[in-house]
């Protein structure tokens, strides 16, 4: 029994980091659901971030942001946030690693599509209208979210006359799609 426990512990110690490295980016949970907009700035008073934040605080722009199914990630002073909620240091590092950014101290804005690929990247003269137009120019397949599949019962064929002992199938209720957890 002791040998089995030690073998299992050894396997978990070796395989654990390998499984964690596969999908450790916070962007993975948004893949297929929303379009992450990542803002990376060296400080919280960076002029690019301040102007973008003011644009996002306007009600019309906020509505456009949510209508386009976007999620805001910020990395300011190496402190990451998703929609205003803090990310841990490991998640922030994984976010930066997944974007494959080179070293630099410039501010950057990156738009990632629902497919997980970069769609827009800019480091100067960034306006919210440019980001919105980049989303609006995406292909139709990227814009549309597939509707949840609901099982619909097939129309029943009328039973043949004189047939005995035929069971009629129960009609199934449509399946409710699973709810997505909010962070």
Structural domain contains residue 37: yes
CA distance 180 to 106: 35
pLDDT at site 5: 62
CA distance 41 to 102: 14
Of 4 and 144, the one with more pLDDT: 4
What is the sign of the dihedral through the CA atoms of 155, 159, 160 and 165? Answer: positive
Residue 119 DSSP SS3 = strand
Q: Does pTM surpass 0.85?
A: no
Q: In what order do the strands lie in the sheet with 70-76?
A: 85-86, 79-82, 70-76, 35-41, 108-112, 118-122
pLDDT bucket at 148, cuts 50 / 70 / 90: very low
Q: Which residues lie closer than 8 Å to 113 by C-beta, 6 or more apart? A: 35, 119, 138, 142
Which residue from 183, 50, 25, 38 is spatially nearest to 122, judged by alpha carbons? Answer: 38
| Residue 149: DSSP 8-state | P
Bridge partners of residue 108, in order along the sequence: 40
**CATH value at residue 123:** 3.40.30.10
**Would you tell me how many other CB atoms lie within 10 Å of the CB of residue 32?**
11
Structural domain contains residue 118: yes
Kindly report each contact of residues 126-131 with a partner whose C-beta sits within 8 Å and lies 24 or more positions away, as own/partner: 126/48, 126/51, 126/52, 127/55, 128/52, 128/55, 128/56, 128/61, 128/65, 131/37
Structural domain contains residue 76: yes
Structural domain contains residue 75: yes
Structural domain contains residue 157: no
CA distance 35 to 112: 6
Q: How many domains does the chain have?
A: 1
Cβ(92)–Cβ(79) under 8 Å? yes
Structural domain contains residue 141: no
Domain residues for the domain of 43 are 24-130
DSSP string of 102-113, one letter each residue: -S--S-EEEEE-
Structural domain contains residue 155: no
Q: For the residues 65-89, what does the mean pLDDT come to?
A: 86
Per-residue model confidence as pLDDT tens digits over 91-121: 888 888 888 776 666 788 888 888 888 888 8
Structural domain contains residue 167: no
């Amino acid at each position: 029994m002791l040998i089995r426990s030690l073998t299992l512990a050894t396997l978990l110690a070796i395989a654990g980091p390998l499984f964690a490295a596969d999908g450790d980016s916070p962007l993975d949970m948004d893949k297929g659901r929303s379009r992450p907009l990542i803002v990376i700035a060296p400080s919280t008073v960076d002029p690019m971030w301040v102007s973008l934040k003011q644009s996002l605080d306007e009600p019309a722009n906020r509505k456009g942001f949510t209508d386009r199914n976007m999620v805001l990630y910020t990395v300011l002073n190496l402190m990451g946030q998703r929609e205003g909620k803090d990310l841990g240091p490991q998640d922030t590092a994984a976010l930066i690693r997944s974007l494959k950014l080179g070293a630099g101290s410039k501010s950057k804005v990156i738009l990632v599509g629902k497919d997980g690929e970069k769609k827009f990247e800019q480091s100067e003269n960034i306006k919210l209208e440019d980001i919105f137009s980049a989303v609006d120019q995406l292909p139709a397949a990227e814009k549309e979210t597939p509707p949840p599949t609901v099982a619909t019962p097939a129309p029943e064929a009328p039973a043949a006359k004189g047939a005995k002992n035929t069971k009629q199938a129960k009609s199934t209720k449509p399946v409710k799609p699973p709810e997505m957890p909010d962070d």
